[in-house]
Amino acid sequence: MALGARNAFPRRAARAAAIFLLLLVVATASRAVRAELYGHGGIVRAVAISPDGRWVLTGGFDFTVKLWDFVDQTEIASLDAHEGPVNSVAFLPDGKRAVSAADDRVVILWDLAARKPLARLVGHGAKVMAVAVSPDGRLAASGGWDRTARLWDLATAKQKRVIALPANVNALAFTPDGETLLAGGHDGVIRLLDVATGAPIGELVGHDWGVTQIAVSPDGRRALSAATDGSLRLWDLAARTEIRRLSGHDGPIFAVVFAPDGETAVSGGRDGYVIHWNLATGAPIRAIKAHEKPIWGVAITPDGRFVVSAGTDGRARVWHLATGDQIGIAGEGADEPRPWLESKHPGARLFKKCAACHSLSADGPRRSGPHFAGLFGRRVGSVAGYNYSRALKAGNFRWDERSLWRLFHDGPDVFLPGTKMPLQRIPNADDLAALIDYLREITTTNGVKSTGLGD
């Protein structure tokens, strides 16, 4: 039997198993009570957020890359061209293209608008575990278990350089100036490589076991590394020395990312926890039990308000860092009236997004946002029992046409910095006026129970 034929059988078997798992997911999806990024047929191994915060990209053991709408938490496209589990994904700076790396030894450059591959970058001799994109978007770096890191010219889809290394590569990261590539090895060593020449220029040594993820601070002065030894380490890149060790996870850590301000970071590990860290002290700010099974990837939105975690349970979930709450919790019952589905009002179509997070009545199903009963005239942050962000607790106004206009026109991140509400701007004045008018109608009519101005 030819070698190619022998290799094809396990690939087909693995794919069949992945499809079987996907069918199980579909069969049980109706029982899920949370709105989450749910559609992979198995482990979600990687996650990335687009530069504008609108899209999420995930890579799974079902051989697919999925593109999601961040606000709606709905699947936009399933990108199916790999022949093995996907281990790493990354957006290009333009947000219109992305790269993915998989066990099939291939890196794929994707056109996200066309939902198809632009190029297949072939050269690795073993599974590709990591992929990173240079800050200017011209280069991709890939690292694999063939003990190489490779640089690719994304304009020509040609291999530019092969860098032989002493150990299998699990993680990669560029510095913000694009001049240095950090490669995390299976041997616990992080190697600093000159992008222009491929030459080694230093090492970060301290982990006992394999490095699983690397992140570089926005200012390029520090790096964070996660490893199977259960530690996170913060490094001074100029001095090549360890600044501190961060301890808090129980077991191996598979994911880490800096917050945009560079002052905090987020990690995820085998224990299923997402931990938000104060890097100045090394102390945890908050620990979120995000998954019952291991977390393989974490990503932070460009505004630093939300983190997306991806795990062995086949799900990716969105969390508000300031409160630790999950964003997009669906109703715990489906018996609430849905008058917007039959309404002819021009604002009803836009209200569908509101309905995903807000119940119409005070005694309706629990959702990720406060209920809408008595919304107009209600003081901000006043629904009893709801876990408001500091931004809402500190507010001193009532909801009316003017405040709702500012919320949706300027955006929640501008009107109420720190709020749990994802970015949902409505720049069209007619659409916004229609939504506000319908909000007034639906929160005061249709038999919806109102609890007055004080709730």
The domain locations on the chain are 3-320, 339-442
Among 17-26, 37-46, 64-73, 198-207, name the one with the lowest average pLDDT.
Answer: 17-26
* 121 vs 388 pLDDT, higher one: 121
Give tens-digit pLDDT for 131-150. 999 999 999 999 999 999 99
- pLDDT (mean) for 194-211: 97
Is the pLDDT score of 65 beyond 60? yes
What's the pLDDT band for 35 if we cut at 50, 70, 90? Answer: low
Mean pLDDT of 222-234: 97
Instruction: State percent of the chain over pLDDT 70.
Output: 88
pLDDT exceeds 50 at position 195: yes
Among 24-38, 65-79, 257-271, which range has the highest average pLDDT?
257-271
Q: For the chain, what percent of residues have pLDDT higher than 90?
A: 62
pLDDT at 2 over 80: no
Query: Which of these ranges, 35-49, 157-171, 293-307, has the smallest mean pLDDT?
Result: 35-49
Would you state the structure tokens that stand for residue 340, as one six-digit string? 């917007």
| Between 22 and 385, residue with greater pLDDT | 385
Neighbour count for residue 452 (Cβ, 10 Å): 10
What is the average pLDDT across 349-371? 79
Indicate if the pLDDT at residue 130 is higher than 70.
yes
Averaged pLDDT, 386-415: 84
pTM of the predicted protein model: 0.81
- Which residue has better confidence, 242 or 374? 242
Is the per-residue pLDDT at 7 higher than 70?
no
Angle between the N-to-C axes of helices 401-410 and 429-442, in degrees from 0 to 180, rounded to the nearest 10: 130
In angstroms, the CA 353 to CA 334 distance is: 16
Backbone torsions φ then ψ of 288, nearest 5 degrees: -115, 125
Domains 3-320 and 339-442 share a fold: no
Residues ≥6 apart with Cβ < 8 Å to 29: 38
Look at residue 272 in the predicted model and tell me its pLDDT. Answer: 98
Q: Which residue has the tokens 């380490």?
A: 233
Average pLDDT, the chain: 87
Nearest alpha carbon to residue 185 among 202, 166, 169:
169
187 by Cβ neighbours in 10 Å (0-12 / 13-18 / 19+) ranks as: middle
Higher pLDDT, 355 or 285: 285
Q: Which CATH number fits domain 3-320: 2.30.30.830, 2.130.10.10, 3.40.190.10, 3.40.605.10?
A: 2.130.10.10
State the amino acid at position 149 in one-letter form: A
Which residue, chain included where needed, has tokens 């990209």? Answer: 57
109 pLDDT above the threshold of 80: yes
The predicted-structure confidence for 72-103, as pLDDT tens digits, reads as follows 889 999 999 999 999 999 999 999 999 999 99
Distance, in Å, from the CA atom of 87 to the CA atom of 359, rounded to the nearest integer, reads 38
Q: 294-349, pLDDT tens digit by residue?
A: 999 999 999 999 999 999 999 999 999 999 999 876 544 456 778 888 888 988 88
Q: Quick one: average pLDDT of 26-48?
A: 69
Q: Quick one: pLDDT band at residue 445, thresholds 50, 70, 90? A: low
What's the residue count for the chain? 455
Lowest mean pLDDT among 199-208, 261-270, 445-454: 445-454
What is the per-residue pLDDT for 334?
A: 53
**More confident of the two residues 299 and 411:** 299
Question: pLDDT band for position 28 (50/70/90)?
Answer: very low
Considering only residues 352 and 254, tell me which one the structure prediction assigns the higher pLDDT. 254
Give the model's confidence band at 58: pLDDT under 50 very low, under 70 low, under 90 confident, else very high.
Answer: very high
Q: What Å distances lie between residue 331 and 319, 348, 364, 375, CA to CA?
A: 17, 19, 8, 19
Which pLDDT score is estimated for 81? 97
- State yes or no: pLDDT of 1 exceeds 80: no
Taking residues 395-412, what's their average pLDDT?
86
339-442: CATH number: 1.10.760.10
